[in-house]
Amino acid sequence: MADETRWRIVRLVAERALCVCELADILEMPQSSVSSHVQIIRKAGLLESETCGKWTYFRIHRDHLGLLKAVLKQFPASELHLADADRAEARLERREDSCCPGPVRLAKARKPIVQPSPSRIPNS
């Protein structure tokens, strides 16, 4: 988790399942690099996955959510992480029109693990 790219991936897949091509778009990195990082996180046992056709979607395994929540409280989101979250939302809005069909079993998004900072909450 000391690697910045892996930390960014973990933050992104904490609440929703994403495939490597979606992560690559969000992180603005080559798919091969993202895939290598995802495999390291997967081999560590932190991810659950679902294969739909030729796509595999990854999400943090529920057994690790408590630990991740505690860690995230100690390390607030940086501007980079907030930008990743914004790009993730934009990418997910295009999912139906993209190559990725989306997961079935892992489709339901989780409640936010950490609430956004006050500066990120829209005014009422």
For CA atoms 94, 99, 101, 102, the dihedral sign is negative
Q: What is the CATH number of the domain that holds 51?
A: 1.10.10.10
Of 3-12, 20-29, 66-75, 79-88, the least confident: 66-75
- Note whether 46 and 61 are within 8 A (CB): yes
The verdict on residue 112 lying in a domain is no
Between the CA of residue 107 and those of 28, 58, 103, what are the distances in Å?
23, 11, 5
Work out how many domains the chain is built from and give that number: 1
Residue 42 DSSP one-character state: H
pLDDT digits (tens, 9 = 90+) for 73-119: 888 889 999 999 999 999 999 888 887 878 877 877 777 765 555 45
The verdict on residue 60 lying in a domain is yes
